[in-house]
Structure 1
Amino acid sequence: MRENLSLKAFVVLMKSSKSVMEHVKNNIHSFDMKTSEFTVLEALHHKGPMTVKQISEAVLIGTGSMTYVIDKLETKGLLERRPCPDDRRVIHIHITDKGTQLMDEIFPRHQQAIENLFHDITPKEKKTIIDVLKRVGKQ
């Protein structure tokens, strides 16, 4: 019987994804943060103010759970809610100075941890991985 390369690619992708996510989760926990908190702060830090819906779409967390995460980060003084001046129904989430200082401190260490995961992979191979995974994701 022939080897099913699609199935093998799927299994390797899933195992690799699990391993990478475990490394990332451990790295984020070393900052005394939950992954969901870190991803929200990271999105706001790099993209600027967003609505809850925009954050939810950016970090792939449901809006119901997002409210809880935002509440926790707001309590810690890392972000704040501000009403939209053009539409009072819309609330924008902003990272605070304290949140920015925290991300400026921990994000480079997080980025280095990810760099370490990919240290044996050439830039050309990384581009290939990105291209292939994008094509798989579009299916």
Structure 2
Amino acid sequence: MDDSIGYLLARSRTMLMKSSDDLLSEFGITHTQGAILLMLSTGKYSTAADLSRETYTDGASMKRMIDRLSARGLILREPCPQDRRLVKLGLTADGAELAKKIPLVFCAVLNQHFAGFSAEEIGFLKSLLRRVIANNSQHQPIKIR
């Protein structure tokens, strides 16, 4: 198992998230909550469904995270004027200020975990991960032989 690509990817992700959690605890948020704030700050995502799709998180879990961030005064919920069934999400002033700090935390974590890697090695790893993502985006059914 220690040599499994799945194990190595999952273990690496867990370690990165744990390190982010440790640093973000100063702000009272988790890595996942920080990622939500950062995603909302880009303007590319505006609903819980958008966030759920992008993070592969079920709707109930996403709702709980949004509830926590809203209760902390970091996220606003506003009914969509064009479709009252939709609730648009946005950042409060405090949420926007916190979102500005999150990239620094994420970069510090990555710098620590990738210490000793050359720029070429990091570029190669990124290209491999992009290929994994591209393979998934083709939505081919997985067949077990």
TM-score range, shorter chain: 0.7 to 0.9
Which residue does 1:28 correspond to in 2?
24
> Is the alpha carbon distance of 1:14 and 1:98 closer, same or farther for their aligned partners in structure 2, counting shifts above 3 Å?
closer
Match of 2:40 among 37, 40, 44: 44
Q: Alignment partner for residue 3 of structure 2, among 8, 19, 34?
A: 8
In 2, the alpha carbon distance for the partners of 1:50 and 1:9 equals 37
Q: Structure 1 stretches of 5 or more lacking a match?
A: 1-6
CA contact (8 A) 1:49 1:92 kept: no
Alignment match, 2:120: 124
Aligned counterpart in structure 2 of residue 80 of structure 1, from 58, 76, 79: 76
State the shift of 1:9 in Å: 5.0
Partner amino acid, structure 1, of 2:43: K
> What secondary structure does 2:76 align onto?
strand
CA separation of 1:36/1:15 partners in 2, compared to 1, >3 Å: closer, same or farther?
closer
The TM-score with structure 1 as length reference comes to 0.79
Gaps of 5+ in 2: 137-145
Partner residue in 2 for 1:109: 105
CA 1:101 to 1:16, structure 2 compared with 1: closer, same or farther past 3 Å?
A: closer
Shift of 1:80: 0.6
Number of equivalent positions: 133
Runs of 4+ in 1 over 4 A off after TM superposition: none
* Partner SS for 1:50: coil
RMSD: 2.3
TM-score, normalised on structure 2? 0.76
Task: Provide closer, same or farther for how the CA distance between residues 65 and 14 of structure 1 changes in structure 2, counting only shifts above 3 A.
Answer: closer
